[in-house]
Amino acid sequence: MSSTSARRGTRLATDDWTDAALEVLRTQGRAGITINALCDHLGVTRGSFYWHFADLDALKEAVTERWCKDTGQVLEALAVLQQLPPVDRVRAMTMHLLDEGSSSIEVALRDWARTDAKVAEAVAEADRTVFAAVEQALVQIGRSAADARVLAGVLVYAGIGFAHGDHGLPRPTPDEVDRLLTLIT
């Protein structure tokens, strides 16, 4: 019962709850998020939660907001890639998707998105940003606007599908990614 949580003896800030929720999301998925579990993790009782949040929905909102900020930074990092040649840029984005161990958070959020309009809009926004980046790169490579749109669509949808489907399909190897990009660009 070693509750290795944030500072013991000190009172909690809203961020401590958000941190705990994100960690649980990552390790146990959506189902792991229960108020009792978070309370155990933080060493407080349930009433404490309700001082910081109106209800579980408010927690979701806070977690989502945090995720958006983080994702925004990742996307900014991608913007730096603008200096790279377009093909390398697409490859970098693809690779980022593949080795992202933290995609379990993304899956959990898309899960939430299905029953929560606010989460849905946040996820949609992120999707659109990625789509635009891929589309732009393909145009710069020299594809027609129509081709770029269609190809960016498959790529981004495939990315979403990949995040959801480590079930039965083989995980693409770096070599296969290269081959795909050669075929598509």
Partner DNA sequence: ACCTGAACACCGTTCAAGT
Tokens for 60, please give them: 């979701």
Asked if residue 52 binds its own copies (CB under 8 A), the reply is no
* Alpha helices (H) in the chain, listed in sequence order: 14-28, 35-42, 46-52, 56-80, 86-99, 103-113, 117-141, 145-164, 174-184
Binding residue for DNA (CB under 7 A) from 12, 109, 134, 156?
12
Asked if residue 98 binds its own copies (CB under 8 A), the reply is no
From the list its own copies, DNA, none, which binds 55 (C-beta under 5 to 8 Å, kind-based)? DNA
Asked whether 59 and 15 are in contact (CB, 8 A), the reply is: no
Q: Report the first-to-last Cα separation within the chain, whole angstroms.
A: 54
Give the SS3 label for residue 68.
helix
From the list its own copies, DNA, none, which binds 80 (C-beta under 5 to 8 Å, kind-based)? none
From the list its own copies, DNA, none, which binds 128 (C-beta under 5 to 8 Å, kind-based)? its own copies
Asked if residue 176 binds its own copies (CB under 8 A), the reply is yes
Could you tell me how many residues of this chain bind its own copies (CB under 8 A)?
A: 44
Q: Which residues bind DNA (CB under 7 A)?
A: 11-13, 33-36, 43-52, 54-57
